[in-house]
Structure 1
Amino acid sequence: MANHLTRFDPGTQISRLDPFRNVDSLFNAFDLMRPWRAFDSEAIRMDVSETDQAFVVRADMPGVKKEDLKVSIDGNEVTISADVTEEQEHKEGSSMWRERFHGQQFRTFTLPQQVDDEKATASCRDGVLELTLPKKPGGGAKRLTVQ
């Protein structure tokens, strides 16, 4: 007959008593963050392509007026930001609700070479921001020989 002994540890029983273990499900049930999910700071979708002379960036900015767009260049770091205002109205049967949001979207990214900010151009058409960012001459990477 095998005898299995288990050591009693009062801390084990207490550690199983977690009064906050279901708090996450409480917030999921109310879905409190739904109005802000569309305005995530990383929500700016973009494509970056490179030619010998420049980087070309196309960023989706639906519903954003060109007056509300800002682009800043610092060496090889580019920041796109936009003031966003949105109002939505939903009707379902006898229920109706409105949601309003005002905030800022932004995205910062680093290019592999410095940008000539004097010659850079930006245009916005049909909800797409297009940046042409010429490369700064002589700004390529340099490899050193270790002696």
Structure 2
Amino acid sequence: MERNPFRSLERQFENLQRQFEAMGDVWDGEQLDVPKTGIATSRLDVDIADRGDEFVVSADLPGLESDDINLRLSGDTLHSTAEHERAEHDADEHYLQSERARRAMHRSVRLSEPVDEDAVEATCENGVLTVTLPKAEPTALEGTKTDVQTRGST
């Protein structure tokens, strides 16, 4: 049994998000044989592991450096973007086709438990991004305490 009763609903929303992103590829001309804008945009595919005391998010980003990657944690959502712009071509070279000028990837991942924002670590090694998000310590229940009074029975 899952700890989060809304996880199945979240999975449905994630599937819906992937379908909308796939439709965006069609509308961008990728599958309609329409000229491209020069920017290849795609969804960043990730693996998410729950290791008990931390989440580990991994993504393949071949050819990108750490300066090309932007990570932002907003509440329980990790936002990832990666953008790479290739250097200009040498004027003496003649290219028959050039499709790698610029590419961008993005993804927002909602985590099922709060994380310690100050302890998040990210590394990029050999084209693999690894983000470690330690889970936050449980906090006391918030709210106002109400005392229960006992009334005598008659």
Off by >3 Å, runs of 4+ in structure 1: 27-31, 33-36
Look up the match of 2:130. Answer: 130
Gaps spanning 5+ residues in structure 1: where? 1-26, 90-94, 140-147
TM score, norm. by length of structure 2: 0.58
What is the distance in 2 between the residues matched to 1:29 and 1:57?
A: 33
Cα 1:117–1:31 change in 2 (3 A) is same
My pick for the range that moved more, 96-105 or 118-127, is 96-105
Look up the match of 1:39. Answer: 41
Please, what is the CA RMSD of the aligned residues?
A: 3.1
Helix, strand or coil at the partner of 1:32: coil
Cα 1:115–1:100 change in 2 (3 A) is same
1:86 to partner: Cα distance: 4.1
1:103 to partner: Cα distance: 4.9
Equivalent position amino acid for 2:35 in 1: L
Helix, strand or coil at the partner of 1:67: helix
Look up the match of 1:105. Answer: 105
What is the distance in 2 between the residues matched to 1:29 and 1:76?
A: 37
Percent identity over paired residues:
26
Helix, strand or coil at the partner of 2:99: strand
Look up the match of 1:58. Answer: 58
When Rg is computed on C-alpha atoms for both structures, the one with the higher figure is 1
